[in-house]
Amino acid sequence: MIVILIGYMASGKSTLGRILAKKLNYEFLDLDDFIEKKENSAIKDIFKSKGEIHFRKLETHYLKELLDSKNNLVLSLGGGTPCYSNNMNTILNAKNAKSIYLKASIPTLIARLKNEKSKRPLIAHIETDDLLTEFIGKHLFERSQFYSLANVTITTNNKVESDIVEELVLELF
């Protein structure tokens, strides 16, 4: 089975994905890390040198490659992946795959993101918490229509990682 974790940046996809993969004895892949290895370039450098549209094309290409070739995989997607190039439809139609939306509130996301903006190309330029709140709120509004199509939604606010992973396992099996 391929477990596909979707959600906004800092919703816990990579952290929880690693724990879940270990618990299930599955391989874990973060799509952004996979792209960086394949392209031999950091995501922020791809954004900077070739732009977001080029990055989104790469993202779609590698998503399809992984969905076609891997079994027993926990795959963490970038926050925008489900929202571009009909990717959510590709995810929903993937054989032997289950998508899970890790839903986090705006205050939870702000708390997680405000100290790591430099690592996140889409928010690196945002200077204040108020502007970050506005940006995330707008993005979540735009992206929630895609995220909500996932097979399962799990809210992660105020939960410890081990409890969320148990909830994931119960939803999967």
Q: Is 124 annotated as belonging to a binding site?
A: no
13 is in an annotated binding site: yes
56 is annotated as contributing to ligand binding: yes
11 is in an annotated binding site: yes
- Determine if residue 12 is labeled as part of a ligand binding site: yes
Residue 45 marked ligand-binding: no
14 is in an annotated binding site: yes
**With helix as H, strand as E and coil as C, how does the chain read?**
CEEEEECCCCCCHHHHHHHHHHHHCCEEEEHHHHHHHHHCCCHHHHHHHHHHHHHHHHHHHHHHHHHHHCCCEEEECCCCHHHCCCHHHHHHCCCCEEEEEEECCHHHHHHHHCCCHHHCCCCCCCCCHHHHHHHHHHHHHHHHHHHCCCCEEEECCCCCHHHHHHHHHHHHC
The answer on whether 112 is annotated among ligand-binding residues is: no
Binding annotation for ATP:
10-15, 120
Binding annotation for Mg(2+):
14
Binding annotation for substrate:
32, 56, 79, 143
Binding annotation:
10-15, 32, 56, 79, 120, 143
